[in-house]
Structures are given as C-alpha cells and as structure tokens.
Chains A and B, each alone.
Chain A
Amino acid sequence: MVKLYIPLDMAAVAMGADRLAAAVAQEAAARGETIEIVRNGSRGMLWLEPLIEVETPAGRVGYGPAKVKDVASLFDAGFLAGGAHLLNIGIVDEHPWMKKQNRVTFVRCGVIDPLSVVEYEAHDGFKGLKRAFEIGPVAVVEEVTKSGLRGRGGAGFPTGIKWKTVADCPPGQKYVVVNADEGDSGTFADRMIMEGDPLSLIEGMLICGYAVGASKGYIYLRSEYPIVAKVFQAAIEKALEAGWLGKNIKGSGFDFDVELRIGAGAYVCGEETSLLESLEGKRGIVRAKPPLPAHVGLFGKPTVINNVLSMATIPMIMEKGAKHYADLGVGRSRGTMPLQIAGNVKYGGLFETDFGIPLGVVVNEIGGGTRSGRPVRAVQVGGPLGAYVPVSLFDLPIDYEAFAAKDSLIGHGGLVVFDDTVDMAWMARFGMEFCAIESCGKCTPCRLGSTRGVETIDKIRNGMDVDANIELLKDLCHTMKFGSLCALGGFAPYPVESALRHFPEDFRRPALEAAE
C-alpha cells in the first residue's frame, strides 16, 4: 500500500485538490493499485498547490501543481514509487523553500494527518501539556513570559503578561478565547495551522486554561473560512474521544472544554473587545479600555484572548522550554514569524523564519519577485492597516521595533506585493473606504474620518486644490491615529500616510496630465 498526501487546505482546494484526490483514487482503482490518500494541511508552498506527496523509502516525493489532467501521466511515470515526471519537485523536505525555513509553529503543518491524535502524539504532540501538568500553573506562566512570545495577531503584546494578569485574578469563572478572525488581506497563517495542525491550537488552549485557571475556551472563527470550520470541529471531536478534552483530562484533575463559534463577516471583530461583544451575542462594537479583557472580559469574567498563532506556538515553548524559543530572533522580537507571502508574487506561500530577515530577501529571493514579471513597486506589510513599503526600504529587517521606527508594522506577518502598475492614490482611497465599510461606528474619528478620507482623496485624484487637500488629509490621518478607540481607525492612516510619503507622484497625476 502506498501512502499519498493531498491537502485539504482551502488554498489547495481552491486550486482543485478535491477533484484531484477523487481522480487519483479513481485512477488507482482502475489500475488495481492499493493506495491510501491522507488529506493533510499544506506545506506552505502554495504556488505548487495542489501538491501530491508520495511516501517512498527515501522520503516524501512531491508532485505539483497537479491537475486532474495530469493524473494518468503521473501513474504512467510510476509516481507511486517516486518516478520522474515534469511535476516532480523531489523530496519535499529537501526543497530549498523548506530548507531555508525554521519551522517552529508550523513544524507539523502539512506533515501529519491533521485529524489523527495518534500521529499528533507521535510528532511530539501533547508533550507540552504533559510538562505543564508536571511543573504547575505558576511555572507555566513564568515559562511563557520568559520565552518572549508576543501576540502574533498584530499588536505584539507580550503573551506572558496577559496570562499572568488573568492567573492573578481571584479563582472563579475565567475564559480562554482564541482570535481566529484573520481578516487581514495577505494573511492565511491562522487558516493554515487550523486546517493543517488543529490539535496544536487545542493543546495551546489547554495549557493556557490550566495556567490561568479557566475551564472553558472559545475559538472565534471568521465565516470566510468554511473548511477550517469543518476541520476544526472534527479535531475537537477527536480530542474529546481521545480524552484530551472534557473532565479530568488524563487524570490531571483539570477540566477543559472548547467551543467553536463563527463570526459573520465583520472585520472589526478581529479587535479583541469587539470580538468579545460578538461572542456575547451583541453588535461587534469596540469597548473602551480599561478595563482590560484580562480583568473584565467575556461575560465580564477574566479572559485571556490570544491570536491563533500565539496559542499554537505555546505547546512547543512548553515542550522545549522558554530558552529554546527566546534564543531565536533579534532585539525584542523573539522566536520565529510565520510570514505570508502574497499578492502579485511568483512564489506565494507560508515561510516561517527567525525574526531579523530583511524584507527584500523575503520578497525577491524567497518570493521570486512579481508574478506579472514587472518590477516590484510596493509591499503592504501587516494587512489593510499596514504601511506600503517602497523598494528603497527593502533592507528593513522583519522586527517589530525596526518596522515601528519607519512608521510601519509587521502586524500578523502578511506581505502583499504590488508591481509598478499600482496606483497608490487609489490604494490609499481603498484603505479609507475599507475603514468606512468596516468601522463599528463607536468613535467619531474612525466613523466619520474614514468617509471624509475617501472624499478628500477623491478631490486629490481629481486635481482639486491638491496641496491644500493633501495637507487636510495628513491632518485627518493625525486625528484618526490619535483619536480612535481601536486599531481600525488608529491604524487605517498607515497605508494612506505611507502612500503619500513614499509615492507622492501618484497623488499629482491629474495635475501632471493637465500640464502636459
């Protein structure tokens, strides 16, 4: 029997993985070959999806991107024994894209059957939780603090401090909430880990619940990820069956339940307080802080709220110890960052690496430049609230502080590449339009500022009083940045200001055209 892997990952499915798996099964049956197809997560080489992997004595051999029309020729080429074929990429683990990475959070993603508790355990799964049970809750919080792990959702707040605050609250009902409302354009790491290694997230939540004294965890997942919803729900059931969720987990005396909740298309619900409101069944309106969710969170109870990646990294930190993680990275950015390379790029995908790698290396060497073949003009880093970075700043290292020093942010680690056909004034307008569509409406700078921003950029694009309107736009950005309640209104100016700063010529096109 030959074991094949064809991803169930949403990106792979979007490129035809389900049809491919069906065609491979059918062809194998017709040829009398016995095969087993495992639907795994993606390895992250998304330009190769759907990628078929065949288990051979030498290792897993990859074939991609494979289409239904390639199936017969793959069998003819003896791909079940790792045979030569145009789509053969060799041993997947030896591929340069994989070799250059340091996979910590994504170490199992794409490797194991995401819904097999046995395989998860065989790949060091639940070792972190077992160690947590041995060392006790206080030491767990200390360990997470020492690791230097910072919130991977975007804000980069130290995870250990959040946990300590909740752990220090008096005993009683507490919650663990995972923010899986991954709405930033150019990001898909949360989606990939939840499809490819969902048990790591469940284990992270268990460790967190144990450390802070919570018995209930919620995952708030965006509705745009229907495959994640299916896979993750199935993973919860598998964990329950295996006794890794529920009452008295593995005789520890610790009880923990996990519930998956689905959002309803509101970007602002990725903001933690808005997310909590939505979980409670209300409009996703941002709450003023303080009180912090750590003190007054879900249903008014102390709540740890962490991003998927932060939580899914916890098991490894607990297993290998804080120092192992803290030794990676640069400055105050410790550990690794799963970068998501997207947009107009030749080799798009997920690339996990230690902090400190220069942006230009990621875009040009790893990403291979643009898909269109035209020169790169700008890269938006950190989603719709992130700055547009010009090529002249490509030596900037991936590091929270280095980006902040250039009025930019890393956010959730998404990179969207644009070629030289991009109209940056239009992108600035879109940034404001998006903020207007998604604003929760609670604070004036965001609610009204975003609409006034669209109008002002329209005037600029139409060549009306350009100098005065650019000044007005800058002033508006300032007001939004410092007057908004949350990051939506507060960061929406980043793309606008960066476009104005680095690509001023795009805001003067009508004037130039008129002068010609």
Chain B
Amino acid sequence: MRNVQAEREEMSGAAQYSDERAREIIAAHMGLEGPAMPILHALQKEFGYVPDAAVKEMAEALNISRAEMHGVVTFYHDFHRAPHGRHTLKICRAESCQSMGAERQARAFLDKLKLDWGGTTPDGALSVEAVYCLGLCAHSPSALYDGEPIGRVDAEILDEIAAEARG
C-alpha cells in the first residue's frame, strides 16, 4: 500500500563512532556562521545519534564549555543522545490530527507495541516518536516514516509499518 521505493533515511546504515570521523565532520562545517546546528544534524546523520564523545569534540572546536554544548544538544527534540531504532515513525498528535481521532489511534498502537512516546521496540527496529504537526493537516491523521510522509493514517497502515520495520 505504501511507498516501498521511497527514498528513506535508513538508520540501519549508521556508522560506528570514532573521534576522528567526528572531527572531520566538525571541520567540514567550521566555515559556516553559527555552525552548531548543521554539525549536530551531520553527526546524527552519520552515527544515528549524537554521542557524548562527539559533544566533547564539538565543544573544543567551537571553543565553548561542554556544559553549554550539552545544553544545546538536549534542548532540541530531534537530537538523540543514545542509539535510536533502525527505523523512526513520527506520529502527529497536534490538534488537526486529534480532530480526526489520532490520539486514540496512536495510543492503541503504542499499547500494542508496549511502548510509550519516544520508545524503541526491544529488537531495536522501530522508534515511535510524537511530532507536533507535519503540515499535512488536510489529510489528518498523518505520520512520517523514515522521512516518508503518510496521510490518512489508519490502524492498518500503522501495523503495516511496524511489521515492515521489524520484518
């Protein structure tokens, strides 16, 4: 039913962390004004999360304290401090999706997987996160699976995603 050929941000391809690679990534962005956010996105893309060791490297490169750098990483919902599931499903729970029954539907799905918001299945296959609006509000309820947008999400689509991720 859904788009299997879609270009997806596969988490399974995440590289093993090394200080050297982190330093390369940081150095590649140092010409930018205010490079912290682009660096964090690049680190997470490479390693699947933002390891503490990389935060230390960033603090040194940007000449700020580790505490300050830690503060930045932890402020934003998108950055993970530990390895995440190989696939990420973001389910919208903002008002528009709630008007179409998204809250109850998501709760039932989470209960089935025995997860809470932000949790990862024990096999490390799927992380389920809450998101507050994907701008697909004329097709509520909506979701984003590894970067692929999905409108008119129903229980069947959610089950299909879980099966595909864990299969």
Contacts and interface: CB of A to CB of B under 8 A. Distances in A.
A14 B35 contact: no
Contacts of A179: none
Interface string B109-126: 000000000000000000
B144 interface: yes
Nearest to A47: B138
A279 interface: yes
Given A264-B41, A427-B98, A342 B34 contact: no
Interface in A428-446: 430, 434, 437-438, 440
Contact of B95 (A225, A279, A299, A343): A343
A344 interface: yes
A430 B95 contact: yes
Contact of A15 (B62, B133, B137, B139): B139
A262 B79 CA distance: 12
Interface in B103-162: 131-140, 142, 144, 147-152
Interface in A5-32: 10-11, 13-16, 18-19, 22
A14 B137 contact: no
A16 B6 CA distance: 10
B135 A191 contact: yes
Interface string B22-48: 000000000011111110110000000
Contact of A14 (B79, B95, B96, B142): B142
Contacts of B14: none
Interface in B71-121: 71-72, 75-79, 90, 94-100
Contact of A224 (B135, B140, B148): B135
A interface secondary structure, majority:
mixed
Contacts of A11: 135-136, 138-139, 149, 151
Given A279-B37, A344-B99, A345-B138, A22 B76 contact: no
B72 A282 contact: yes
Interface stretch (A181-189, A455-463, A464-472, A477-485): A181-189
Interface residues of B, number: 46
Interface stretch (A72-80, A238-246, A412-420, A505-513): A412-420
B3 interface: yes
B151 A223 contact: no
Contacts of A261: 37-38
Contact of A438 (B33, B132, B134, B150): B132
Nearest to B153: A14
B35 A264 contact: no
A188 B35 contact: no
Nearest to A16: B3
B16 interface: no
Contacts of A278: 37
B100 to A, nearest CB: 6
A470 to B, nearest CB: 22
A80 to B, nearest CB: 24
13 contacts: A16-B3, A46-B139, A182-B135, A185-B137, A224-B134, A264-B40, A266-B76, A278-B37, A281-B62, A283-B75, A343-B137, A380-B95, A438-B132
Interface of A: 10-11, 13-16, 18-19, 22, 46-47, 49, 182-188, 191, 223-227, 259, 261-267, 278-285, 299, 340-345, 348-349, 371, 380, 384, 414, 416-419, 422, 427, 430, 434, 437-438, 440
Interface of B: 3, 5-6, 32-38, 40-41, 62, 71-72, 75-79, 90, 94-100, 131-140, 142, 144, 147-152
